[in-house]
Structure formats: structure tokens, C-alpha cells
Structure 1
Amino acid sequence: MTKKAYVIGTADTKGPELAYVRDLIAATGLETVLINVGTKGGDSGVDVTAASVAACHPEGPAAVFVNDRGAAVTEMARALTAFVGGRSDLGGIIGLGGSGGSAIIAPAMQALAIGVPKVLVSTLASGDVSAYVGASDVNMFHPVTDVSGLNRVSRKLLGNAAHALAGMMANPVPEAPDDRPAVVLSMFGVTTPAVQAITEDLSDQFDCLVFHATGSGGRSMEQLVYQGDVAGVLDITTTEICDLIVGGFLSAGEGRLDSIARSKLPYVGSCGALDMANFWGPESVPPQFKDRTLYHHNAQVTLMRANAEEAAQIGTWIGNKLNACEGPVRFLLPLKGVSALDIEGGPFYDPQANDALFQALRSTVKQTKNRRLIDLEMHINDPAFAKAAIAEFNEIYNEKGT
């Protein structure tokens, strides 16, 4: 089946701009589909009308065409996500939008598999784009001017975006001749020695995909697990959960570990960097934390040591998530430190806080033959820790017969 470029926007307000992008992509030889997601008409010249998209809404088109603009945008986003999810000819997608159009198009892009070309031209692209990119691989282009009319600036920038999508579709990256099963790993700078030692050992047998545990990294890892492209998980660095509980800036959200639990995959986890919450520059640290133990990682990042009370909450939260895992679980407790800063003589060395974390895990996790906590009298970055993690993973991976 010929794969097509989907061009999406609110044709009632951005019809000429959408047609311009479509025509540039078509001029490269690719087939296109122009889709209207506006709720005020504008279907002239499109291939898929707004009503056709709205008909894909789980509750029917009446849920989309309502008298409240905010509600209409939210429900059209749901309809578009369902629409693109059912299209087998979609080879790439480009959307044009302001705040409303971007809110409609971005969720549909995020729902597509990682690797499908995605370009979003949005007037919000120069700010915090986390809500639009999510855990996916959406490429955002800033149009500089508003997406409102074709002029000497917008023609060039819309053209660049159109040609970017066309280039991705016309020149797909060749599949690597690699039949190794994929495993995912989580890493932070303060757990790098452990994770690099693990990947070096496992790389002969597995394609090791390492995710930076910065919130978006954890969400991306979970999404890949959800897609079913993974054979196992070595979640060495669960630090995003500390940010969630304490109020740091790099949380992966309440859904962390949920995809892993549903997958039933072999899972080896640990307490990597659960000693720290992340903030930006010193001025970003909330007032209630000003007297806490802080470490200035660099000019842009300030770390705060989690105290015993917070550590206990983190352990309980993780324990409840592990109890929901039906696959084989081994969660490793590095009793001599959970990060490069949490080591005797280090700025975050706090045995009392670590003990609160470990005790909360022990009291919460319902241990079985399949779900176990493993005490290790070593630091997380000790070479012996990496060897222990590898041994535990190989054991449960081979037992599962994956």
C-alpha cells in the first residue's frame, strides 16, 4: 500500500496555508491527504472533512460539535486520534496550528508509533513544548509569524517544514540488520557507571536502548514498552519517582511503571538517584526547600536531597506499583548508596534517609517467588552491582523463555 502524507489543520482558518504545504509535498512525488479538523466549516478542497473526523469520536460526532470552543477542541482531538489510529496508509503527518490547532493535532501524533515522521508547525514551539511532544518523537517547527496568511516569511518556513516531512518519508532510515531482542534501561548522570557496565555486558545478546530519566525519558521508555517492541526492562534509575513525590521538575507522572506492569516483561529495577529531586537554577527552588541540602549540579540544574520522610513515601509508592506487576520482578536495594552523590563523604550521603526508603519497600512489597527484593551490600555504581543486575536479569529472562 502506498504510504501518504497527512496534512492536518483547521481549514476554516488556515485553508491556504494547508493547501500550500500539501502542494509542496505533492510536488516531491508523494501522495497527500488533506484533513480538516476545524469545527466551523471550511471543508472546501479538503480530502477528509471535519464531520468525517468527528464521526470517529468514541461517542459520535455530537460530542465534537458543541457550543463551547474549549470542549470542541478537546473532543476533536479525541476524534482525530481515533481517526489516524485506524488509517493503514499513513506514512507521515504534518500539522499547522495555533494554540487550538496544536491541541487538536498533537495528541494524535503522540499516539502514533515512534519512528513515524511527525512535524507540527506551531506558534507555541518557542516555549515549553512538553505537552505537545509528550513521550513521542514529534518535531516542532516555530513559524515565527502567526500561521495566518502566506507571506515572505511564512512561505519559507512552512516550506521548510513541508520539505522536512517529505524528506523523512522519501528517505526512510534503513532497518538495521539486527535480530537481537531489545531491552530498555534508565540512566542518569549519577548512575552512568552502573548502566554503562550493564549495557556493555548485555550488548552482545541484546539491543540496549538507554533512556535519560528526565521525565520525558521515563514516559518514552514506558511508551516503547506499551508498543510491545521490548523484551525486558532494566530500570536502574527510578529517580523520576522522587520528583513526583517531592515536587521536582523531572517527574514522569503518576503512570510511571504502569506500562511495565501491564507488559508482564522481565523487570529488574533499582533505587538509582532516588536520593534527589531536580530543580532548575537556584532561584527555581521553592521557598519551603531553601534550607534543605542542595547541590548545584550546574548553572541550570539544582539538586535537593530527599529526606527520610520523603524517602519512605517514595518506597511505599514504588512498592505498590511493583505489587501490580504480574511478570517476574527483581528490585535491587544498593545498601551503600543510590547515586554518585550518595556515597560516604558525598554531599547526599544520608544512611537514615536510605534506610527509610529500603524499609518502606520491604514493608510494602508483597514478595513471592516471582516478585523479590534483593539486598546488595554495595554502592549502585560498584562494578559488582552491575554484575548482580545482569545475573538477575538473565535468570528471569531465561526462566520466562522470552
Structure 2
Amino acid sequence: MTINSGLIYAVATADTKGRELFYIGDCLRKAGADVVTVDLSTQGVSQPSGADFPPELIADFHPEGRDAVFCGDRGRAIDAMALAFKIFLNQRRDLAGIIGLGGSCGTALITPAMQALPVGVPKVMVSTMASGDVSGYVGASDISMVYSVTDVSGLNRISRQVLGNAAHQIAGAVLFPVPEDNNDKPALGLTMFGVTTPCIQMVSTMLEEDYDCLVFHATGSGGKAMEKLTESGMLSGLLDLTTTEVCDHLFGGVLACDETRFDAVAHSKVPCVISCGALDMVNFGHISTVPAKYADRLFYHHNAQVTLMRTTVEENVAMAKWIADKLNRCEGDIVFLIPEGGFSALDAPGQAFWLPEARDAFITTLEAQVRQTARRVIRRLPFNINDPQFAQAAVRQFRQLVEKEL
């Protein structure tokens, strides 16, 4: 999607949030921004919406037409309008930013379309849901969630202040844009965790002269963001050295990827060096949040809000099989590096998570399950993942993959 000029799209369900929507529009105009309003009401309206884009117009963008939206079933109507709005927004060529407001339904209506916009396009969502878990609404995008404090139901001394602040936030982002980055270096994606930080910092330092190194925190959303950029063609290669999100996905941790992890590598075929950074741990919050079934496990208290649980032999076997299945679908150039000296700062001789039998279970299972070819290779290295020699080897392997591509 190419952004050519500068309108801010203000979006809500005007049948219940009309006063608030038009108040935001007024705030934006007073701030000097150009704005259009969009009504995503799903009940059908007997009176004209008053918005620049009424709901009937948006509903017409649904592949099955407006009847799919105005169907009389609230749940299906919301899903249908969300799809119609996503298609509508993707076709706009005058969009410079978007601000939405709503409760649970309005937030579910608006944010899928926001997620589909390119990273860097300003996105603000004022929501009653913004004080809780917003991962489903934000996804891998750069949506700014603003808690509405009061319900989005009328204008009062609180809502005027919150909505006005949000309007000024989006206006500032649009009217004072960040200068375009003219860096012509190819961009690389790297994954990092606290316990693999030394490795990634060394790798970045060795590559930064030739590449724009984008480091993603392996927190579930970090991996998703990296893979979204990979799918969009914005990354020329990956050093996906910290794959800990797989642990949480398989064993109920709080920083989980989903079933699509590594799919972007398979689709894009970008050169990729992968490793098993922090596969020795599952992440939970405060110790009180750890499921009761794990009561007898080995834990490390990372800080007051983060508890790490050591993965077992059986879990390492399961992870290796899951990752191997993903790797076997990849046809691009991939090297999987195994640090035999440990998968993290805690997985080293004398450290809390040193458990050679778990490490060995992962290695032998991965080597048995992956169908190695000239383009899909596993290599063992006799180092801990944070040793300088491992970082040097990762960089050397990546450069060799790039040269092979040329």
C-alpha cells in the first residue's frame, strides 16, 4: 500500500459512538489535520450517519455484499464488517493515519484493518479494553492502545480529555512525521532474549557495517513482528538465533509464538541462520501464576514478575520434532547452528539450568528428524550460545548463505 497524501481516518460505530467520533474529528481539525470520519455501525441505520463514509458504503466492500454485514446476527455482522473495513482501508491511497474508538466490539471491528497497514503508518485505538491483554488487538503491528478510562458512552469531563489527547497524539504523528530513512543497507532480522543478549550484540556489531540490524525481543509478539516484516519483503535475511517462543507455545508459557512460527522463512526463502537460543526455559509471570501441574519443576526467579522453568528431556524431544517439521518445509537456504555448550546464559556448566541430558535429547532428535539437504543444514558448534566463537560462526555462516544467493 502506497501512502500519497494526508488524511486521518477517524473510525467508530456512529450509532452508539457518534458524539465521540465527531468530537475527535473536531479536535483533529482544530489541530490543523485533515480528517474524514468512518461509520462501522452493523445494525443498519434509519437516519443518515453523518459520517463521510457511512456504514452501507463500507459494507459494500464485503465480498458477499452488504447483506453479509446487515444480517441480523450481531456476531456474524461484526466479523463481516471487520472484513469489509479491512478491504476498504487497504484500497485507500490518501490515508496518513487512523484513529479508532470503541468498546470490545468496536475494538474487534477496527484493529484487524489497522494490523494490515504497514508498520510506520500512525495508528491509535481508544478502547475500553486497553487496560488488559491487548495482544489480540495489536498483533505484530505498531498500534497505540489508549485506555478510555470511562466507557465510550457519551462525552464528559474525563472522556473529552482522553479523546482529545488521543486525537492530538495521532495529529502530532501525522503533522510531524519522522523523516524517511534513506539507509540503503539491506535489513536483517535478529531475535534476542535477556539470556542470549551477548550473542546478538556481538552478531549485530559484526554485521552493522553492511546491514541494518533489526533486533526483535523473543516475546511471542516479537517473533510475529519479525515474520510479518519478512513476509512483506522488508527483511533480506534472518539470524533467528533465539527461538524460545516455541517453548512457551508448546508448554503453556506466557511469551508464546503460534503455529505459524517459521512459516515466513518457508514462504520467503530468505537466507536464514537459526539456533536454539533459550530453548532451555519456559516463561511465566510471578511464581504464583505458574500452573499447579509444574509445582515440582526446576525454576529460576528472573525478577519479581518473571519466573523461568527449565525444560525437561521429554520437552526437548517435543520441541525438536516441532521445529524439525517446520524446517522440513523450508526450501530456501537454512543453517541450524547447535551450541553444544548450552542454549542460554543459564544453560552452562555451574549455572542453574545446566542439564546436558536435555540438551542432548534436543540435538539427537533434531538431527534424526530434519531431512538435511545442500540447502537445509544442521551444524554443531562446541560453544555456549553466548561465546564469541559462536557469534563469529553465525556471522560467517550467514555471509556464506548470502554469497551463495548472489
Secondary structure of 2:377's counterpart equals strand
- What is aligned with 1:317? 322
- What is aligned with 2:26? 23
User: Would you say 1:179 and 2:210 are equivalent positions?
Assistant: no
Deviations 1:306-355 (A, max 9, x none): 11111011011111111111211001011110000101111111111111
CA contact (8 A) 1:246 1:306 kept: no
Letter in 2 for 1:306: T
- What is aligned with 1:38? 41
Aligned pair partner of 2:377 in 351, 355, 372: 372
Q: CA deviation at 1:208?
A: 0.3
- What is aligned with 1:57? 62
Please give the residue correspondences for 1:207-226 in structure 2 after superposition, counting only pairs within 5 Å: 207-226=212-231
Secondary structure of 1:320's counterpart equals helix
- What is aligned with 1:12? 15
Secondary structure of 2:393's counterpart equals helix
Q: CA deviation at 1:399?
A: 1.3
Q: CA deviation at 1:61?
A: 2.3
- What is aligned with 2:351? 346
Deviations 1:41-67 (A, max 9, x none): 354211112122112223332222222
Letter in 2 for 1:189: G
Structure 1: gaps spanning 5 or more residues:
none
Query: Counterparts of 2:194 and 2:248 in 1: how far apart (Å)?
Result: 16
Secondary structure of 1:297's counterpart equals strand
Query: Counterparts of 1:39 and 1:246 in 2: how far apart (Å)?
Result: 39
Secondary structure of 1:238's counterpart equals coil
CA contact (8 A) 2:190 2:214 kept: yes
Please give the residue correspondences for 1:2-401 in structure 2 after superposition, counting only pairs within 5 Å: 2-42=5-45, 43-401=48-406
Q: CA deviation at 1:282?
A: 0.7
Instruction: State percent identity of aligned pairs.
Output: 52
CA contact (8 A) 2:40 2:58 kept: yes
Query: Counterparts of 2:63 and 2:207 in 1: how far apart (Å)?
Result: 44
Secondary structure of 2:366's counterpart equals helix
Judge which range, 124-133 or 328-337, deviates more.
124-133
Query: Counterparts of 2:357 and 2:49 in 1: how far apart (Å)?
Result: 68
CA contact (8 A) 2:272 2:398 kept: yes
Letter in 2 for 1:3: G
Deviations 1:280-309 (A, max 9, x none): 011111111010111111110111111111
Q: CA deviation at 1:178?
A: 1.3
CA contact (8 A) 2:5 2:93 kept: no
Deviations 1:216-264 (A, max 9, x none): 1111111111221111000000000011111111101111111121111
Secondary structure of 1:325's counterpart equals coil
Query: Counterparts of 2:163 and 2:172 in 1: how far apart (Å)?
Result: 14
